[in-house]
Structures are given as structure tokens and as C-alpha cells.
């Protein structure tokens, strides 16, 4: 039986060996790192200082329960101011209630004096007693001192600019009691600005004895917006009774002449420059009821705003979890 093995010549085996050696030499070798990687080894922890975990009472921040807090800014001084507004408005509203009662009683007392018959004005009037006779109807006789006339203004009447005519009334020239004249200041009424000069209103300058019926009034009070009078230039912006009395040598007594002309009479007096006096009525303003409604309304509105700010329900993003920061 013949063998089936293959026979190769000897020179073929030599060639195959040379090819294997040359292929092995030509293959590039990997470069070695300058710092070879060290094998991972587990080292024991250092024991030169105590660790927090060694304490049996140690509590990690992960073990503490979470705390729900409101997100955003906390309420600051603005909330305190918002809380003071309704309290202040409530106090002011209550004060206006008391003022309303006082003003109503005062007007009723003045109206009771108006219905009484006119009282003859005594020769000498104590300025301290005028408070008890405010809005009291009085009658005085005398002569006007037009040379000492003063115009106070400007004052508006029915949309037209003008002035108040203040003229000293000399009741007893020389003085029957030997103490000089008993002159008082009379607010005769309103005249138009175009007739402010005496030569343009001669019919409004009576020369004989006159009878003046009017209201005895307390001295006026100047507000902070009214400028100061300038007597040296004849400019009076408000009736300073004491100042006018010193300038004219009269008593510090202020009488407002009263009259009730109809429409036609008022127009004729205005055209002739005759001062138009005031009606015999109480003209005190009483707006305290409006102030009460305003202050109490503000107190209610701001109280609702304060409640809405404090009790505002949280939204989905208004709360977050803040971990307890106590590390001990």
C-alpha cells in the first residue's frame, strides 16, 4: 500500500523559516511608559487623627429629616409697614368721628346764636371774650374812616376776581369816657378788582353816620400757604386783625357786615363798587364724614391686602427641600 504524505523539497522549508523571522523582526514593538502604572492596592486609613465616623453619636446630614421651607424672599420691613397702614387709618378714622361730633355741636351752637336778636356792640370789647360771642349778631353805629381802608385779597366771587374791603368804623371820636375813640374793624364785603381804586367807586364810600349790622368773629388764622402781609405796600393777603388794629389805631375787634341782596341788587352793587356783604349764616366746612369714609375704607382695604400677603397659598414651585445644616 502506497503512502499519501506530501514531500517538500529542503529549499522550500528554508524559505518559509526566513519569512517568519523577517516578519517577526519588522513588527513594531510598543513603547514603554516613563512612569509605569502601579498596580491598585488598598491602603489602610491613616490613624493619626480621629475620624467623625469613630464617634458613636455621629449623625450624617443624610440621616437628618428634610425641612420644608418657603421659597423666595422672606417677609421683611415691608410687611411691618403694611401692617401699620390699617392701624393708622383706623386711628385716624376714629379721630374723625370725634371731630365730626365736635364740629356738628359747634355749628349747632353758632346757628343758635344767629337766630337771636342783634346785640348792640359795647364801647369797649374784651378780645378774650370774643370767643364766647363768635357768630353773634351785633349792631354798631359810627363813621367809616375811608382814608384807612385796606383791601384783602385776592378773593373770588362767582368766578370774578376781587378784594375784601376792610374799613375802620369810628364810633365815638374823642371818647365820651375820656379814653379815646372806640374804633373797630369792619369787613364791608367784596368789590371787583377793576373797581379797587376809591375814585372808581365813589358811591361805595358813605360819608355820614352809618349803622352796621354784622357778625362778631374771632380773628382769622393764617395757613402755611398764605404769604405774609406787606403793609408798607398796602398788600394784605389775609386779615391779620391785630396787625390791622395797630396800623389803624383801633380795637382788635372784627365785625363782618351781613346783607342778603337779591340778584338784581347784587349786580347793581357790583357795578357801582358798593361792597357786597356776606349772608348771616354759618359757613364752616364740615367734611369729616367724607374723611371717616376715606380712612375706614383704607383700613379695610389694607387689612385685606395684609391678609392676602400673609396667608398666600404656596404654588408648585414655592416650596423646596432644604437639608438640615447642623453637622454635629
pTM for the whole structure = 0.66
Q: CA-CA distance, 130 to 109, in Å (whole number)?
A: 15
- 291 and 183, same domain (yes or no): no
DSSP state of 88: H
Q: CA-CA distance, 273 to 60, in Å (whole number)?
A: 99
Domain extent for 254: 136-221+228-272
Whether 234 has a pLDDT exceeding 80, the answer reads yes
- 209 and 298, same domain (yes or no): no
Q: CA-CA distance, 191 to 165, in Å (whole number)?
A: 7
- 160 and 268, same domain (yes or no): yes
- 67 and 113, same domain (yes or no): yes
Name the nearest CA neighbour of 215 among 252, 170, 183, 257: 257
For the chain, the maximum distance between any two Cα atoms, rounded to a whole number of angstroms, is: 189
Q: Is there a domain that residue 181 lies in?
A: yes
**pLDDT tens per residue, range 269-286:** 999 999 999 998 888 888
Using DSSP's 3-state secondary structure scheme, residue 85 falls into helix
Residues sharing a CB contact under 8 Å with residue 150, sequence separation 6 or more, in sequence order? 165, 166, 167, 234, 236, 244, 247, 248
Q: CA-CA distance, 109 to 284, in Å (whole number)?
A: 12
Say what the pLDDT of residue 1 is: 45
Q: Is there a domain that residue 32 lies in?
A: no
Residues sharing a CB contact under 8 Å with residue 209, sequence separation 6 or more, in sequence order? 141, 142, 143
**pLDDT tens per residue, range 44-75:** 555 567 776 677 776 666 666 655 555 455 56
- 70 and 193, same domain (yes or no): no
Name the least confident of 99-108, 246-255, 302-311.
Answer: 302-311
Residues sharing a CB contact under 8 Å with residue 153, sequence separation 6 or more, in sequence order? 161, 162, 163, 164, 193, 236, 237
CA 325 to chain centre: 46
- 80 and 203, same domain (yes or no): no
Say what the pLDDT of residue 254 is: 93
Long-range contacts from 259-265, C-beta under 8 angstroms, 24+ separation: 259/189
**pLDDT tens per residue, range 113-149:** 998 999 999 888 888 889 889 999 999 999 999 999 9
Whether 30 has a pLDDT exceeding 50, the answer reads yes
- 204 and 239, same domain (yes or no): yes
Say what the pLDDT of residue 118 is: 92
**pLDDT tens per residue, range 179-210:** 556 899 999 999 999 999 999 999 999 988 99
Using DSSP's 3-state secondary structure scheme, residue 16 falls into helix
Say what the pLDDT of residue 327 is: 44
Name the least confident of 17-26, 92-101, 106-115, 169-178.
Answer: 17-26
Name the least confident of 40-54, 160-174, 236-250.
Answer: 40-54
- 173 and 234, same domain (yes or no): yes
Count of domains forming the chain: 2
Whether 153 has a pLDDT exceeding 50, the answer reads yes
For the chain, the average pLDDT equals 80
Amino acid at each position: 500500500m502506497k503512502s499519501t504524505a506530501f514531500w517538500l523539497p529542503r529549499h522550500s522549508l528554508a524559505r518559509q523559516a526566513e519569512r517568519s523571522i523577517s516578519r517577526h523582526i519588522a513588527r513594531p514593538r510598543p513603547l514603554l511608559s516613563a512612569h509605569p502604572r502601579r498596580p491598585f492596592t488598598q491602603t489602610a486609613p491613616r490613624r493619626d487623627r480621629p475620624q467623625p465616623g469613630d464617634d458613636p453619636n455621629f449623625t450624617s446630614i443624610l440621616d437628618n429629616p428634610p425641612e420644608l421651607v418657603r421659597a423666595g424672599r422672606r417677609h421683611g420691613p415691608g410687611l411691618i409697614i403694611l401692617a401699620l397702614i390699617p392701624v393708622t387709618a383706623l386711628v385716624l378714622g376714629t379721630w374723625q368721628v370725634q371731630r365730626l361730633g365736635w364740629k356738628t355741636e359747634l355749628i349747632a351752637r353758632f346757628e343758635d346764636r344767629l337766630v337771636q336778636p342783634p346785640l348792640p356792640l359795647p364801647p369797649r370789647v374784651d378780645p378774650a371774650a370774643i370767643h364766647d360771642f363768635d357768630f353773634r349778631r351785633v349792631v354798631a353805629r359810627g363813621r367809616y374812616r375811608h382814608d384807612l381802608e385796606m383791601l384783602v385779597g385776592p378773593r373770588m366771587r362767582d368766578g370774578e376776581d376781587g378784594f375784601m374791603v376792610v374799613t375802620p368804623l369810628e364810633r365815638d371820636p374823642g371818647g365820651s369816657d375820656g379814653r379815646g375813640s372806640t374804633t373797630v374793624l369792619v369787613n364791608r364785603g367784596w368789590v371787583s378788582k377793576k373797581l379797587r381804586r376809591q375814585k372808581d367807586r365813589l358811591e361805595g364810600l358813605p360819608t355820614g353816620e352809618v349803622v352796621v349790622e354784622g357778625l362778631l368773629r374771632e380773628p382769622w388764622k393764617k395757613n402755611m400757604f398764605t404769604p405774609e402781609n406787606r403793609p408798607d405796600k398796602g398788600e394784605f393777603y389775609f386779615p391779620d386783625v391785630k396787625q390791622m388794629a395797630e396800623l389803624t389805631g383801633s380795637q382788635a375787634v372784627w365785625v363782618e357786615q351781613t346783607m342778603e341782596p337779591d340778584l338784581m341788587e347784587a349786580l347793581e352793587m357790583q357795578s357801582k363798587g358798593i361792597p357786597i356783604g356776606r349772608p348771616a349764616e354759618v359757613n364752616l366746612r364740615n367734611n369729616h364724614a367724607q374723611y371717616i369714609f376715606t380712612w375706614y375704607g383704607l383700613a379695610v382695604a389694607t387689612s385685606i391686602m395684609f391678609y392676602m400677603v400673609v396667608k398666600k397659598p404656596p404654588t408648585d414651585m414655592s416650596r423646596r427641600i432644604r437639608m438640615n445644616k447642623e453637622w454635629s
